[in-house]
Amino acid sequence: MISAIMTLIGALGGGALRLLPEMISAWTNRQQKENAVRLAELHVDEVRAELASRLELAHLGAENIEAERQLELDKAKAASMVIAQQAQAQLSGVRWVDALTLSVRPVATYLMLLLYIAFKLIVIRDAVIQSAAPGPATVTSLVEVVWNEDDAAIFAAVLTFWFADSVLVRRTRAAP
């Protein structure tokens, strides 16, 4: 009986020894396939990252091109405005046309000043009429009605404009 058991153990051992290299080979093949899959996934990730980087560079390049185009457009607009301003500043050589052109701003200023004075006179008249009932209007009460912060701002803006204009005109005439 021992010989039968030994025969059986020998058969099983021989079969196991024969299957062992096949099992190792199958395990190795499976490991190689898993490694190949991991390498392929890493390669796909690398390609994705490279493509994303190229796409980002393309977007940045497009944004840079758009910014350069906008800058050139802004430069062209500014240059055209300068040319237009210079053309407007040129006198035509016809005396009455030049006189009319040069008188537009001062005449508009005088008209606005006359309208402003007329409006303030109406305000004074209304203040006098309204204050006549309880008692006569005083100069102080009329000044508070007629002159306020908005009036001071308008007055300062007009004076500053004209004094700055005269300085610029003198500087332009003095420049060669």
The residue with tokens 């405005």 is 81
- pLDDT for the residue 135: 62
In whole angstroms, give the CA distance from residue 19 to residue 27: 12
Provide the residue ranges of all domains of the chain, joining segments of one domain with +.
Answer: 1-90, 93-176
In whole angstroms, give the CA distance from residue 60 to residue 54: 10
3-class secondary-structure state, position 93: coil
Could you tell me the two tokens for 8?
């059986």
Q: What angle do CA 67, 72, 77 make, to 5 degrees?
A: 125
What are the pLDDT tens digits along the chain (176 aa)? 777 777 777 777 777 777 777 788 888 889 999 999 999 999 999 999 999 999 999 998 999 999 999 999 999 999 998 888 777 777 778 888 888 888 888 888 889 889 988 998 898 888 777 776 566 667 777 787 788 888 889 888 888 887 887 777 777 777 65
pTM: 0.42
Shortest CA distance to 131 belongs to which of 118, 140, 152, 116? 140
CA 111 to chain centre: 40
- pLDDT for the residue 77: 93
In whole angstroms, give the CA distance from residue 2 to residue 17: 22
φ/ψ of 90, rounded to 5, equals -75, 135
In whole angstroms, give the CA distance from residue 172 to residue 170: 5
Count H helices and E strands in the chain, helices first.
4, 0
